[in-house]
């Protein structure tokens, strides 16, 4: 895989792109568009807040790059803000009587586990999310789920080609994504 190809695959597989697209599709599949709209707004709002947050952190020189590639920078720039957003989103979904509260809190648990792992090794969030959303999609549409599952190893490989992660970091990311994807199926499907 060339660096140019890896950059394209990595961009498509970025958690701030892949995760909300798959979650939006799943939400609309389970609810009508009108009923899903508050959840879709919550998903979009969380992503926008994180992008703006990271933009200002980068502008101030507090993060090295948009991927927050340095392990020490991930805690306060990725994991802590996302955990706060997940819990706020769960509360808002509860207050406006939307479904997916359990799914949202389970996602928070996934992020918390990645946060804990990050104290020892920088787990690839691209890889975690690629495998996780694959397993979310599988019971809804087998072909889309299999397509995402087939694409996930390419996302993992792109991260090593770009030098953002080593093999162990993407393997751990894959394992975490698969475990949480299977657990999500058992708990919520």
Which of 175, 158, 127, 181 is closest to 18 using CA atoms? 127
DSSP states of 58-120: HHTT-SSSTT--SHHHHIIIIIHHHHHHHHHHHHHHHHTT-S-HHHHHHHHHHHHHHHHHHTT
In sequence order, what are the residues at sequence separation of 6 or more whose Cβ sits closer than 8 angstroms to the Cβ of residue 18?
A: 12, 129, 130, 133
Rounded Cα distance between 120 and 110, Å, is 16
> Using one digit for the tens of pLDDT, what is the confidence trace for 28-74?
999 999 999 999 999 999 999 999 998 998 888 888 777 776 778 88
Rounded Cα distance between 108 and 160, Å, is 26
CB 108 within 8 A of CB 119: no
CA distances from 116 to 87, 161, 168 (A): 17, 25, 16
Residue with the larger pLDDT of the pair 73 and 135 = 135
pLDDT for 74: 84
Mean pLDDT taken over the chain: 93
Tell whether pTM > 0.75: yes
Rounded Cα distance between 184 and 98, Å, is 18
CA distances from 5 to 2, 158, 168, 171, 172 (A): 5, 8, 21, 20, 23
pLDDT for 72: 81
> Using one digit for the tens of pLDDT, what is the confidence trace for 121-131?
999 999 999 99
Rounded Cα distance between 147 and 91, Å, is 33
For the record, the structure tokens of 97 come out as 């009587």
The SS3 assignment for 32 reads coil
């Amino acid at each position: 895989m060339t660096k140019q190809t890896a950059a394209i695959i990595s961009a498509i597989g970025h958690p701030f792109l892949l995760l909300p697209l798959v979650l939006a599709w799943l939400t609309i599949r389970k609810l009508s568009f009108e009923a899903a709209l508050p959840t879709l707004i919550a998903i979009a709002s969380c992503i926008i807040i994180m992008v703006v947050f990271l933009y200002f952190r980068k502008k101030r020189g507090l993060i090295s790059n948009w991927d927050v590639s340095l392990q020490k920078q991930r805690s306060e720039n990725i994991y802590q803000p996302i955990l706060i957003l997940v819990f706020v989103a769960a509360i808002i979904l509860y207050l406006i009587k939307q479904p997916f509260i359990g799914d949202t809190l389970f996602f928070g648990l996934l992020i918390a586990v990645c946060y804990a792992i990050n104290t020892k090794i920088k787990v690839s969030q691209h890889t975690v999310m690629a495998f996780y959303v694959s397993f979310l999609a599988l019971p809804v549409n087998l072909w889309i789920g299999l397509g995402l599952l087939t694409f996930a190893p390419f996302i993992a490989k792109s991260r090593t080609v770009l030098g953002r992660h080593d093999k162990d970091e993407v393997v751990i990311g894959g394992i975490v994504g698969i475990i949480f994807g299977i657990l999500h199926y058992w708990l919520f499907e």
